[in-house]
Amino acid sequence: MKISNVKAIVPTEAKAPQDWRGWFAQILVMVESEDGVRGYGIGGGGEAGTHVVNTALRHELVGADATAVEELWDRMYRATLAYGRKGLALMAISGVDLALWDLRGRRQGKSVVELLGGSSGLPLPAYKTTGIDDIPLDSSEGFAAYKVGGLGRLDARADVDQIVDELTTAREKVGFELPLMADAGMGWNDPERVLALCERLADLNLGWLEEPLPADDLKGYAWLRERSPIPIAGGEHEFTAAAFADLMQRGCHDIYQPDVCWCGGLTELVKIYEMAREHGVRVCPHRGSEPWGLPAIAALDNDPLAESGRPWMEWVGGTTVVNGVAQIAAAPGFGVNAEELGARFDR
Protein backbone atom coordinates (compact mmCIF):
# COMPACT_ATOMS: atom_id res chain seq x y z
CA MET A 1 0.00 0.00 0.00
CA LYS A 2 1.45 3.35 -1.07
CA ILE A 3 1.63 6.59 0.88
CA SER A 4 -0.74 9.24 -0.44
CA ASN A 5 -0.10 12.14 1.93
CA VAL A 6 2.39 13.39 4.51
CA LYS A 7 1.76 16.52 6.53
CA ALA A 8 3.01 18.25 9.68
CA ILE A 9 1.42 21.07 11.65
CA VAL A 10 1.93 23.10 14.79
CA PRO A 11 -1.50 23.76 16.30
CA THR A 12 -2.17 27.46 16.62
CA GLU A 13 -3.14 28.87 19.98
CA ALA A 14 -6.78 28.88 18.92
CA LYS A 15 -6.65 25.21 18.04
CA ALA A 16 -3.97 23.99 20.42
CA PRO A 17 -4.92 21.28 22.89
CA GLN A 18 -4.31 21.82 26.58
CA ASP A 19 -0.62 21.70 27.48
CA TRP A 20 0.56 21.53 23.87
CA ARG A 21 3.66 23.46 24.98
CA GLY A 22 4.51 25.20 21.75
CA TRP A 23 7.70 26.53 23.30
CA PHE A 24 8.90 22.91 23.26
CA ALA A 25 8.84 23.09 19.43
CA GLN A 26 6.63 20.02 19.12
CA ILE A 27 5.07 19.20 15.78
CA LEU A 28 2.20 16.88 14.94
CA VAL A 29 2.70 14.62 11.90
CA MET A 30 0.21 12.63 9.82
CA VAL A 31 0.99 9.95 7.21
CA GLU A 32 -1.90 8.62 5.12
CA SER A 33 -2.04 5.55 2.86
CA GLU A 34 -4.02 5.24 -0.35
CA ASP A 35 -6.96 3.53 1.36
CA GLY A 36 -7.42 6.43 3.79
CA VAL A 37 -5.78 4.89 6.86
CA ARG A 38 -3.75 7.43 8.83
CA GLY A 39 -0.90 7.21 11.28
CA TYR A 40 0.15 9.94 13.72
CA GLY A 41 3.38 10.91 15.42
CA ILE A 42 5.03 13.70 17.37
CA GLY A 43 8.33 15.27 16.35
CA GLY A 44 10.16 18.51 16.98
CA GLY A 45 11.51 21.60 15.29
CA GLY A 46 8.47 23.85 15.44
CA GLU A 47 7.49 25.66 12.25
CA ALA A 48 10.90 24.94 10.74
CA GLY A 49 10.35 21.25 11.43
CA THR A 50 7.00 21.29 9.66
CA HIS A 51 8.71 22.84 6.63
CA VAL A 52 11.17 19.92 6.49
CA VAL A 53 8.31 17.43 6.69
CA ASN A 54 6.03 19.18 4.21
CA THR A 55 8.73 19.65 1.60
CA ALA A 56 11.79 17.36 1.65
CA LEU A 57 10.30 14.41 3.53
CA ARG A 58 6.94 14.54 1.77
CA HIS A 59 8.76 14.55 -1.58
CA GLU A 60 10.57 11.34 -0.60
CA LEU A 61 7.58 9.49 0.82
CA VAL A 62 4.48 10.17 -1.29
CA GLY A 63 4.07 7.19 -3.61
CA ALA A 64 6.42 4.98 -1.58
CA ASP A 65 5.51 1.66 0.07
CA ALA A 66 4.02 2.52 3.46
CA THR A 67 5.02 -0.85 4.93
CA ALA A 68 8.77 -0.36 4.36
CA VAL A 69 9.22 1.72 7.50
CA GLU A 70 12.90 1.05 8.13
CA GLU A 71 13.82 1.62 4.46
CA LEU A 72 11.87 4.86 4.48
CA TRP A 73 13.89 6.03 7.48
CA ASP A 74 17.05 5.59 5.43
CA ARG A 75 15.53 7.56 2.56
CA MET A 76 14.55 10.42 4.84
CA TYR A 77 17.97 10.51 6.45
CA ARG A 78 19.77 10.60 3.10
CA ALA A 79 17.42 13.29 1.80
CA THR A 80 18.33 15.61 4.69
CA LEU A 81 21.94 14.53 5.16
CA ALA A 82 23.47 17.71 3.76
CA TYR A 83 21.75 19.90 6.36
CA GLY A 84 20.62 17.34 8.92
CA ARG A 85 22.42 14.56 10.80
CA LYS A 86 21.48 16.14 14.14
CA GLY A 87 18.99 18.58 15.54
CA LEU A 88 16.00 19.94 13.71
CA ALA A 89 15.98 17.60 10.69
CA LEU A 90 16.17 14.51 12.91
CA MET A 91 13.36 15.87 15.08
CA ALA A 92 11.24 16.17 11.94
CA ILE A 93 12.17 12.66 10.81
CA SER A 94 11.25 11.37 14.27
CA GLY A 95 7.67 12.56 13.90
CA VAL A 96 7.29 10.98 10.47
CA ASP A 97 8.86 7.72 11.61
CA LEU A 98 6.45 7.49 14.54
CA ALA A 99 3.51 8.19 12.22
CA LEU A 100 4.71 5.37 9.96
CA TRP A 101 4.88 2.97 12.91
CA ASP A 102 1.41 4.06 13.98
CA LEU A 103 0.16 3.47 10.43
CA ARG A 104 1.86 0.04 10.36
CA GLY A 105 0.08 -0.96 13.55
CA ARG A 106 -3.30 0.37 12.47
CA ARG A 107 -3.13 -1.43 9.13
CA GLN A 108 -2.21 -4.72 10.83
CA GLY A 109 -4.68 -4.28 13.68
CA LYS A 110 -1.86 -4.56 16.21
CA SER A 111 -0.49 -2.26 18.86
CA VAL A 112 3.08 -1.03 18.39
CA VAL A 113 4.14 -2.94 21.49
CA GLU A 114 2.87 -6.12 19.82
CA LEU A 115 4.80 -5.24 16.66
CA LEU A 116 7.90 -5.12 18.86
CA GLY A 117 7.14 -8.52 20.40
CA GLY A 118 5.60 -7.34 23.68
CA SER A 119 2.12 -7.21 25.17
CA SER A 120 -0.32 -4.35 25.71
CA GLY A 121 -2.02 -3.69 28.99
CA LEU A 122 0.87 -4.66 31.25
CA PRO A 123 1.56 -2.26 34.14
CA LEU A 124 4.98 -0.62 34.01
CA PRO A 125 6.72 1.18 36.90
CA ALA A 126 7.10 4.92 36.47
CA TYR A 127 9.19 7.61 38.10
CA LYS A 128 8.08 11.18 38.64
CA THR A 129 10.13 14.18 37.54
CA THR A 130 9.30 17.07 39.80
CA GLY A 131 10.56 19.88 42.00
CA ILE A 132 11.58 19.34 45.59
CA ASP A 133 8.49 21.11 46.94
CA ASP A 134 6.22 18.69 45.07
CA ILE A 135 7.76 15.48 46.40
CA PRO A 136 5.29 13.93 48.87
CA LEU A 137 6.29 13.00 52.40
CA ASP A 138 5.16 9.43 51.81
CA SER A 139 4.93 6.98 48.90
CA SER A 140 1.15 7.29 48.50
CA GLU A 141 1.47 8.40 44.86
CA GLY A 142 2.73 4.95 43.97
CA PHE A 143 5.73 5.98 41.86
CA ALA A 144 8.72 3.65 41.79
CA ALA A 145 11.20 6.56 42.02
CA TYR A 146 11.51 10.35 41.96
CA LYS A 147 13.77 12.68 40.01
CA VAL A 148 14.55 16.24 41.04
CA GLY A 149 14.79 18.50 38.00
CA GLY A 150 16.08 22.01 37.47
CA LEU A 151 19.43 21.74 39.27
CA GLY A 152 21.17 23.35 36.31
CA ARG A 153 19.91 26.72 37.53
CA LEU A 154 22.51 26.45 40.28
CA ASP A 155 26.27 26.81 39.82
CA ALA A 156 28.37 23.68 40.41
CA ARG A 157 31.14 25.89 41.85
CA ALA A 158 29.39 28.62 43.85
CA ASP A 159 26.19 26.80 44.87
CA VAL A 160 27.54 23.42 45.95
CA ASP A 161 26.15 23.68 49.50
CA GLN A 162 22.71 24.62 48.19
CA ILE A 163 22.71 21.71 45.72
CA VAL A 164 23.69 19.29 48.48
CA ASP A 165 21.07 20.75 50.83
CA GLU A 166 18.28 20.53 48.25
CA LEU A 167 19.03 16.93 47.33
CA THR A 168 19.42 16.00 51.00
CA THR A 169 15.95 17.44 51.61
CA ALA A 170 14.62 15.44 48.67
CA ARG A 171 16.20 12.26 50.01
CA GLU A 172 14.71 12.85 53.44
CA LYS A 173 11.26 13.28 51.90
CA VAL A 174 11.54 10.21 49.67
CA GLY A 175 13.35 8.05 52.20
CA PHE A 176 16.06 5.55 51.33
CA GLU A 177 13.70 2.84 50.14
CA LEU A 178 12.75 4.61 46.90
CA PRO A 179 15.33 5.52 44.25
CA LEU A 180 16.07 9.23 43.85
CA MET A 181 17.67 10.81 40.77
CA ALA A 182 18.79 14.34 39.90
CA ASP A 183 18.77 16.32 36.63
CA ALA A 184 21.14 19.21 35.88
CA GLY A 185 19.85 19.81 32.34
CA MET A 186 23.32 20.38 30.80
CA GLY A 187 23.76 23.30 33.22
CA TRP A 188 27.35 22.68 34.33
CA ASN A 189 30.59 22.85 32.34
CA ASP A 190 33.52 21.66 34.42
CA PRO A 191 33.88 17.85 34.80
CA GLU A 192 36.25 18.22 37.76
CA ARG A 193 33.79 20.45 39.62
CA VAL A 194 30.99 18.00 38.86
CA LEU A 195 33.09 15.10 40.17
CA ALA A 196 33.73 17.00 43.41
CA LEU A 197 29.99 17.59 43.71
CA CYS A 198 29.25 13.91 43.07
CA GLU A 199 31.63 12.99 45.87
CA ARG A 200 29.71 15.32 48.21
CA LEU A 201 26.46 13.66 47.14
CA ALA A 202 27.67 10.06 47.33
CA ASP A 203 25.99 9.29 50.67
CA LEU A 204 22.57 10.15 49.22
CA ASN A 205 22.73 7.03 47.02
CA LEU A 206 21.37 8.76 43.91
CA GLY A 207 20.18 6.46 41.13
CA TRP A 208 21.79 8.77 38.58
CA LEU A 209 22.90 12.33 37.87
CA GLU A 210 21.40 13.38 34.54
CA GLU A 211 23.05 15.64 31.96
CA PRO A 212 25.53 17.44 34.22
CA LEU A 213 27.56 18.58 31.18
CA PRO A 214 26.74 19.91 27.70
CA ALA A 215 25.75 17.13 25.32
CA ASP A 216 28.81 17.55 23.08
CA ASP A 217 31.38 17.22 25.87
CA LEU A 218 31.95 13.54 25.14
CA LYS A 219 35.48 13.56 26.53
CA GLY A 220 34.24 15.18 29.74
CA TYR A 221 31.42 12.67 30.11
CA ALA A 222 33.73 9.67 29.62
CA TRP A 223 36.18 11.11 32.17
CA LEU A 224 33.41 11.83 34.69
CA ARG A 225 31.60 8.55 34.27
CA GLU A 226 34.80 6.59 34.92
CA ARG A 227 35.39 8.38 38.25
CA SER A 228 31.96 9.34 39.60
CA PRO A 229 30.50 7.50 42.61
CA ILE A 230 27.07 8.34 41.13
CA PRO A 231 25.89 6.78 37.84
CA ILE A 232 25.89 9.32 35.01
CA ALA A 233 22.89 9.56 32.65
CA GLY A 234 22.49 11.41 29.36
CA GLY A 235 21.59 11.25 25.71
CA GLU A 236 18.30 13.12 25.78
CA HIS A 237 19.77 15.64 23.34
CA GLU A 238 21.56 13.17 21.06
CA PHE A 239 20.41 12.06 17.61
CA THR A 240 20.54 8.77 15.63
CA ALA A 241 21.63 5.32 16.65
CA ALA A 242 25.03 5.99 15.06
CA ALA A 243 25.67 8.82 17.51
CA PHE A 244 24.58 6.66 20.45
CA ALA A 245 27.00 3.98 19.25
CA ASP A 246 29.79 6.53 19.60
CA LEU A 247 28.63 7.47 23.10
CA MET A 248 28.59 3.83 24.17
CA GLN A 249 31.98 3.06 22.66
CA ARG A 250 33.46 6.04 24.51
CA GLY A 251 31.74 5.00 27.76
CA CYS A 252 30.02 8.34 28.23
CA HIS A 253 27.06 7.24 30.33
CA ASP A 254 25.79 4.51 32.61
CA ILE A 255 22.19 5.20 31.59
CA TYR A 256 21.22 6.34 28.08
CA GLN A 257 18.10 8.47 27.66
CA PRO A 258 17.08 8.85 24.00
CA ASP A 259 13.91 10.81 23.32
CA VAL A 260 11.93 8.90 20.69
CA CYS A 261 10.37 12.13 19.39
CA TRP A 262 13.82 13.63 18.73
CA CYS A 263 16.46 10.93 18.27
CA GLY A 264 15.10 9.66 14.94
CA GLY A 265 11.90 7.92 16.01
CA LEU A 266 11.11 4.36 17.02
CA THR A 267 13.23 2.89 14.24
CA GLU A 268 16.33 4.40 15.87
CA LEU A 269 15.20 3.69 19.43
CA VAL A 270 14.99 -0.03 18.62
CA LYS A 271 18.60 0.08 17.36
CA ILE A 272 19.71 1.93 20.49
CA TYR A 273 18.21 -0.77 22.69
CA GLU A 274 19.99 -3.44 20.66
CA MET A 275 23.35 -1.67 21.04
CA ALA A 276 22.81 -1.13 24.76
CA ARG A 277 22.42 -4.87 25.26
CA GLU A 278 25.72 -5.45 23.47
CA HIS A 279 27.49 -2.86 25.65
CA GLY A 280 25.81 -3.93 28.88
CA VAL A 281 24.36 -0.50 29.63
CA ARG A 282 20.87 0.65 30.51
CA VAL A 283 18.37 2.59 28.39
CA CYS A 284 15.75 4.73 30.13
CA PRO A 285 14.06 6.93 27.50
CA HIS A 286 13.24 10.58 28.11
CA ARG A 287 9.46 11.19 28.34
CA GLY A 288 9.00 7.43 28.51
CA SER A 289 5.41 7.37 29.71
CA GLU A 290 4.09 9.02 26.55
CA PRO A 291 2.55 6.66 23.96
CA TRP A 292 5.48 7.03 21.55
CA GLY A 293 8.22 5.64 23.79
CA LEU A 294 6.34 3.36 26.18
CA PRO A 295 5.91 0.45 23.69
CA ALA A 296 9.69 0.09 23.39
CA ILE A 297 10.08 0.18 27.16
CA ALA A 298 7.40 -2.52 27.52
CA ALA A 299 8.74 -4.79 24.79
CA LEU A 300 12.51 -4.28 24.85
CA ASP A 301 13.53 -3.21 28.35
CA ASN A 302 14.70 -5.71 30.98
CA ASP A 303 14.49 -3.04 33.67
CA PRO A 304 11.53 -0.88 32.57
CA LEU A 305 11.02 2.54 34.10
CA ALA A 306 8.88 5.22 32.45
CA GLU A 307 9.33 8.94 33.10
CA SER A 308 6.14 10.65 34.26
CA GLY A 309 5.16 13.75 36.15
CA ARG A 310 5.01 15.98 33.08
CA PRO A 311 1.62 16.11 31.35
CA TRP A 312 2.95 16.48 27.79
CA MET A 313 0.60 15.04 25.20
CA GLU A 314 -1.89 13.49 27.61
CA TRP A 315 -4.69 14.68 25.34
CA VAL A 316 -3.72 12.22 22.59
CA GLY A 317 -4.43 9.13 24.67
CA GLY A 318 -2.52 5.90 24.14
CA THR A 319 -1.22 5.55 27.70
CA THR A 320 -2.36 6.18 31.23
CA VAL A 321 -0.41 6.70 34.45
CA VAL A 322 -2.47 5.85 37.52
CA ASN A 323 -1.07 5.53 41.04
CA GLY A 324 2.45 5.78 39.69
CA VAL A 325 2.02 2.95 37.18
CA ALA A 326 2.04 3.39 33.38
CA GLN A 327 -0.07 1.26 31.08
CA ILE A 328 -0.33 1.08 27.28
CA ALA A 329 -3.72 1.10 25.65
CA ALA A 330 -4.60 -2.19 23.95
CA ALA A 331 -5.42 -0.56 20.61
CA PRO A 332 -3.86 -0.54 17.12
CA GLY A 333 -0.77 1.55 16.54
CA PHE A 334 0.18 3.77 19.45
CA GLY A 335 -3.45 3.76 20.56
CA VAL A 336 -3.74 7.53 20.24
CA ASN A 337 -7.01 9.34 19.58
CA ALA A 338 -7.18 9.26 15.76
CA GLU A 339 -10.45 11.20 15.66
CA GLU A 340 -9.03 14.07 17.70
CA LEU A 341 -5.73 14.15 15.84
CA GLY A 342 -7.29 13.75 12.41
CA ALA A 343 -9.65 16.66 13.03
CA ARG A 344 -6.64 18.96 13.43
CA PHE A 345 -5.54 18.18 9.88
CA ASP A 346 -9.02 18.42 8.39
CA ARG A 347 -9.86 21.88 9.71
Name the superfamily (CATH) of residues 3-109+338-346: Enolase-like, N-terminal domain (3.30.390.10)
The topology under which CATH files domain 115-328 is TIM Barrel (3.20.20)
* Residues 233/284, Cβ–Cβ less than 8 Å: yes
How do the pLDDT tens digits run along the chain, 347 residues long? 999 999 999 876 556 666 566 667 889 999 999 999 999 999 999 999 999 999 999 999 999 999 999 999 999 999 999 999 999 999 999 999 999 999 999 999 999 999 999 887 788 999 999 888 887 766 678 889 999 999 999 999 999 999 999 999 999 998 998 999 999 999 999 999 999 999 999 999 999 999 999 999 999 999 999 999 999 999 999 999 999 999 999 999 999 999 999 999 999 999 999 999 999 999 999 988 888 999 999 999 999 999 986 555 556 777 788 888 888 888 999 999 888 888 888 87
Domain boundaries, the chain: 3-109+338-346, 115-328
Inter-residue long-range contacts of 114-117, CB under 8 Å, 24+ positions, other chains counted: 115/295, 116/270, 116/295, 116/296, 116/298, 116/299, 116/300, 117/299
Inter-residue long-range contacts of 82-89, CB under 8 Å, 24+ positions, other chains counted: 85/239, 85/240, 86/238, 86/239, 86/240, 86/243, 87/239, 88/44, 88/45, 88/48, 88/49, 88/52, 89/45, 89/52
Q: Which residues are catalytic?
A: 286
| CA 267 – CA 213 distance, rounded (Å) | 27
Is 115-328 in the same CATH topology as 3-109+338-346? Answer: no
| CA 194 – CA 223 distance, rounded (Å) | 11
